[in-house]
Amino acid sequence: MVDKLKAVLATAIGISTLASAGVQAYEAGDMIVRAGLTYVSPDDESAATAAPAPLSDLAGVDLVDVEEGISLGFSGTYMVNKQFGVELLLALPFVHDIQGYGPLNGFTIGEAQHLPPTLSAQVYPDIGVDKVQPYFGIGVNYTTFFSEELDSGFKTLLSDSYGLTATGLEIDDSLSYAFQAGLDVEVAKNCYVNVAYWYIDIETEATVKTDGGDINIDVAIDPHVFMVGAAYKF
């Protein structure tokens, strides 16, 4: 699916280069609202940093794999002038399954939800193409995790194999940077088809709490985020 969405963005950019010559640019004071189906594909790595005695041999081992998530994303951009804007990206909650990796392969660890508000400064270059407007941005992302739950099968594994009773899962929030690129193609007055991509740096720590001590896992999620939807200019 990631490859298909990348192909959509590449195709849209390719079409823009074949469009008739002209100039389409936003004006100072314009507000652009975008919304669409948003797909989050983690490019994750993990390493256990601490574990109770029965699991001490897991320290330094890659233990988890964060699965993809789909939700509705939406953003608002205020144009400072024709070529610079400020965007706030929001979304409905994403739900991610957390699967075991390496020695825990085959086990579902649990699931968690997250929200990824991102504030970005954007550049809108004038490419001299009518009805087509690319843009690029860099910003700050704050990802907050909530509704973390451990899977009953994983709890049973800890109990039966290691004599540990799991009491909960916690995932720390993350504050870091994000890059983006997007394209608006005008299809009617003030109405656009939009495709967009973000790379978000998300570094967090997941903690599985047990009665024998915590299992701490550093996780770099670093997702590629794709959105396909619509935009409207006010």
**pLDDT (mean) for 117-130:** 93
pLDDT tens for each residue of 107-118: 899 999 999 999
CA 59 vs CA 102, 156, 167, 202: distances in Å: 12, 21, 20, 21
Confidence at residue 11, expressed as pLDDT on a 0 to 100 scale? 45
Domain that holds residue 220: 2-233
pLDDT at residue 55 tops 60: yes
**pLDDT (mean) for 71-99:** 96
Task: Name the pairing type of β-strands 132-150 and 69-79.
Answer: unpaired
Q: Give me the CATH number covering residue 56.
A: 2.40.160.20
Between 189 and 19, the more confident residue is 189
Q: How confident is the model at residue 3 (pLDDT cuts 50, 70, 90)?
A: low
> What's the total number of domains in the chain?
1
Q: If DSSP codes are grouped into helix, strand and coil, which group holds residue 12? A: helix
- Given a contact cutoff of 8 angstroms between Cβ atoms, the answer to whether 196 and 231 are in contact is no
pLDDT at residue 128 tops 70: yes
Tokens representing 65 are 């794999």
| CB atoms closer than 10 angstroms to residue 39 | 21
The answer to which of 53-57, 63-67, 104-108, 201-205 has the lowest mean pLDDT is 53-57
Residue 126's nearest CA partner among 81, 62, 59 is 81
| CB atoms closer than 10 angstroms to residue 188 | 7
Confidence at residue 231, expressed as pLDDT on a 0 to 100 scale? 97
Confidence at residue 153, expressed as pLDDT on a 0 to 100 scale? 92
Mean pLDDT of the chain: 89
